[in-house]
Structure 1
Amino acid sequence: MVRQRGTLNASIIFGIMIATFVLIVLRRPDIITNAQPWAEDGHVWLAGIYNDGFWSSVIHPLNGYYQTISRVTYGIALTFGIQNAALVANIIAILIRCCFVGFILSGRMNFIDLKFRLAAAVYFILMPNVAEGYVNITNAHWYLSMYLLAVVMAKEPETKPEKAHDLFLVFLSGLSGPFVVFIAPCLLIKRWYQRGGILSAIKGINLFDICMTICCLIQVVTILGSSDVARATAPLGYSFGLLADIISGRIIFGSFLAFDDARNMAAHGNMNIALFVALCLVLIFAFFKSGWRVKSLILFPVLMIGFALAKPVIANDQPQWPLVFNTESGERYFYVTNIALACLVLGLVSKMGNYSKYVLFAGFVAFISLTPHYFEIPGFPDVGYKSDIEKFQAIEKGKEIKIRILPPGWTMDLIKK
């Protein structure tokens, strides 16, 4: 069953990936039984590619950055027919998560004890507060960014398939959202440690480094050129106290509790400030005292959440930060931070010597006992997408029709081919 310490064989990993797929679907079955495009998935990508062709949208960024995964996914999905495109896109979104789980359980990550990687995988599959991006391609870039960070943290690839995997992922993730800009410093820290200084890191640059640099530069230029496009213009409504409330409610408690429970736990402002300061001090200490992998696991989510909270898109007519704290809006901004916090907690537990397995078991039992409160994610209403597609297929070529998509109130315009 296990070829060597900390390494599962391919068949076992594949079985776990299948189980991951099943569990993801069980949490919200309608992503398969009643697949409907979500927001930009339909309004921008499906409609744009169907009406104008795949290549017409390739060079155009959206919301200030390139979003390649959405283009590629709907380019593939539409080859199965427009009536099946949403389902195929959802399956691809699920498979991205399954591949991420498979990677962290692979031999490339066996510098981490297997039981802790299994615990991280269980958390990833069952984590709370993920309904907003469950499961669609529009929000897949958050998961791709974590996948790319795992590749940076992993052992160097040795075989041609491993090298091809890494290069494919760096382009797919690097050109899907702005996150490569925050992961690039992690790669620099890694090379600095590996090669003994900044000059040696630059001199030893390899193909992976070059590809990530290219992706980073493309996204930086695009962000600088169009960073305010489609961003909310409403005020932030920020304060230090509210920042502490958000970090406590959405990250410290929200990593492990359902939103309502986390919000209740974060109802005391002074306690939130104390927790926020304590978390900052712990992260600063760990950053300077730990190796490059822990540094990366701290740096990426900190940079990411700083950018996200500086320019959130929650509502166009209300202050943003109060909505982040008081409502479930903006869940997507905390996927990376919450997974990173769970992994850092697991890392801390792994340092407890002979007690680590007991603490891990107790934590696992506690976490599993909480999952019934949020395992089942409510499905979205049927907005009439399938019936509109049936009407669309019956109309004459050249005519245009509005197709209802999720969330309710959104539509996409299709021109019959």
Structure 2
Amino acid sequence: MKLHAGWRLQVLIFITAFAILVSRRPDALFNAQFWAEDGKCWYAEAYNLGIIQSLVLPKGGYFQTISRLTAGFVQFFPLLWAPLIFNLTAIVIQILPVYLIASVRFSQLIPNLRTRLFLGLLYLALPNSFETHANITNAHWHLAILACMVVLATPSRLLVWQVFDIAVILLSGLSGPFSVLLAPIAAIIWWLRRQRWSFILLLGLTAGAVVQGIAILLTGHSSRVHTSLGATPDLFTKILASQVFLAALIGQKGSKLISSISFGYSIIAILIAVAGTALFLYCLLKAPLELRLFSIFAAGVFGMSLLSPVVSETVPQWWLLWRPGTGVRYWFIPMLAFVTILTWLLGATRPRRLQLTARIALVIMLAGIVVDWRYPTFADLKFKNYSKQFIEAPTGTKVTIPINPPGWFMELIKH
């Protein structure tokens, strides 16, 4: 049966993707609670300082506009609804890359719709990605993927797609440092295609990169944790093997099991890192331009994450970074690039040994998907009860509300 990416299929894709994401952590929908900065920073600052003032505040050295906009929007709703609206917004953002890759705009890059849907499924089911799931704080990682896809996709003359492209580029450019990496990629695409729309996207990303660059220069040093990196070649190899290649295939739990081997894991990590890097280099030499550029973007994200991570305020960063479950958000895009390369290697024109390697790796990945499918349920901190207390509190009262992860709090001054 021939598949057509018409509106019926797009609706089916959205519903299916939504169901998949909710199934990985149902409480995100059925017992919605704030996660970390969602409550402590975005909502609290929008409420306490006002929507406009909070919008122009950088966090962690750069602007995070998508989080600020969502927090501003939910100010028009009761506090009780806020976590649910946060989570729903984050889930919709997660779905959009699948929606785009299934559209006709990727039919020239990947003619087979089944292959595009397969990639979309791998993206939704990617192991070792709980930290980027259904929360606004880390939604900018998904926006970065979406912005990269917009740059690489075939331009559309339809107004709805053009509005979509501009919105994604501007939101992503002002919601994290990724525009600094994406602007050069957009420049390459424009130089080779010489299309007016590619130039417009380049301008948007360049503007975002300039704004974020200024914010990083002015506030980045003073607003980030300054614990030493503790970088060594051995730790670099372990991070690459454990957090990117192993975690993408056998999940966080499987990677944790293998990396717990006290004798000989350094040798295992070297072998895994060399094998994965070899596939990456082969992609850079033989893959279509768009996949090469996406892989370069992912490598840039990996490098940027290693240079400026925040996972501890006391211990050198790399000492913890190699341990599965640490800094999960940093590895999301590199892992996605890795499994995309594996999918490309399945193509009939690739060498048989590489096809076989990719098949074996993707079959192994089924185990990682299964063991990492369900994310841990958030601790039930009785948010409904606290939201009721906040409503009943007198004006001027400071109300402290516990949020996830346990130990975090949100402070609101009732007005």
Q: Fold-level match, TM-score > 0.5?
A: yes
* Matched residues, number: 408
Question: Mapping of 1:343-382 within 5 angstroms?
Answer: 343-352=340-349, 366-382=364-380
3-state DSSP class of the match of 2:378? coil
1:120 aligns with 2:113: no
Q: Deviations over 1:55-96 (max 9, x none)?
A: 011222111111000011112222221110111110000011
* Partner SS, residue 412 of structure 2: strand
What aligned pairs does 1:163-312 form with structure 2 within 5 A after superposition? 163-195=162-194, 206-266=199-259, 267=261, 268-312=265-309
Q: Quote how far apart the aligned CAs of 1:285 are.
A: 4.4
Q: TM-score, normalised by structure 2?
A: 0.91
1:54 aligns with 2:54: no
Query: Which residue identity lines up with residue 399 of structure 1 in the other structure?
Result: T
RMSD of aligned Cα (Å) = 2.4
CA–CA distance in structure 2, aligned partners of residues 170 and 350 of structure 1: 31
Q: Which has the larger displacement, 122-131 or 203-212? A: 203-212
The 10-residue stretch of structure 1 (357-366 or 310-319) with the greater mean CA deviation from structure 2: 357-366
Aligned partner letter, 2:241? S
Q: How does 1:12-23 map to 2 (within 5 A)?
A: 12-23=9-20
| Conserved 8 A contact 1:232-1:311 | no
Pair 1:89 & 2:86 matched = yes
Cα offset for 1:365? 5.3
Structure 1 residues 357, 310: closer, same or farther in 2, change over 3 A?
closer
User: What amino acid is the match of 1:90?
Assistant: N
* Cα 1:327/1:343, change in 2 over 3 Å: closer
The letter of the residue matching 2:249 is F
Secondary structure of the structure 2 residue equivalent to 1:326: coil
Q: 1:204–1:397: structure 2 CA closer, same or farther, 3 Å change rule?
A: closer
In the other structure, the counterpart of 1:198 is none
Contact 1:383 1:404 in 2 (8 A): yes
Structure 2 residue matching 1:329: 3-state secondary structure: coil
Would you say the 8 A contact 2:248–2:365 is kept in 1? no
- Report the counterpart of residue 134 of structure 1 in structure 2: 133
Q: Percent identity?
A: 30
* CA distance, structure 1, for counterparts of residue 321 and residue 363 of structure 2: 30
Partners in 1 of 2:6 and 2:143 — Cα distance? 24
What amino acid sits opposite 2:238 in the alignment? Answer: D
Partners of 2:55 and 2:69 within 8 A in 1: no
Q: Do the aligned partners of 1:39 and 1:410 also contact (CA within 8 Å) in 2?
A: yes
Contact 2:145–2:333 under 8 Å retained in 1: yes
d(CA) in 1 for partners of 2:375 and 2:391? 32
Query: Is the alpha carbon distance of 1:10 and 1:360 closer, same or farther for their aligned partners in structure 2, counting shifts above 3 Å?
Result: farther
2:249/2:362 contact within 8 Å kept: no
Within a 5 Å distance, the mapping from 1:24-39 to structure 2 comes to 24-39=21-36
Give the alignment's TM-score, normalised by structure 1.
0.91
Query: Residue 19 of structure 1: SS of its match in structure 2?
Result: helix
Q: For 1:129, what is the secondary structure of its paired residue?
A: coil
Cα gap change, 1:358/1:79 in structure 2, threshold over 3 Å: closer, same or farther?
farther
CA distance in 1 between counterparts of 2:127 and 2:223 reads 28
Equivalence for 2:395: 397
CA distance in 2, matches of 1:182, 1:55: 28
Is the partner of 1:254 in helix, strand or coil? helix
Are the counterparts in 2 of residues 14 and 102 from structure 1 also a CA contact under 8 Å?
A: no
Which whole-Å CA distance do the structure 1 matches of 2:36 and 2:12 have between them? 33
User: 8 Å contact 1:65–1:223 — kept in the other structure?
Assistant: yes
Query: For residues 300-323 of structure 1, what are the alpha-carbon distances to aligned partners after superposition, in whole Å with 9 as ceiling and x for unaligned?
Result: 111111111111101101121121
**Separation in 2 of the partners of 1:370 and 1:398?**
50
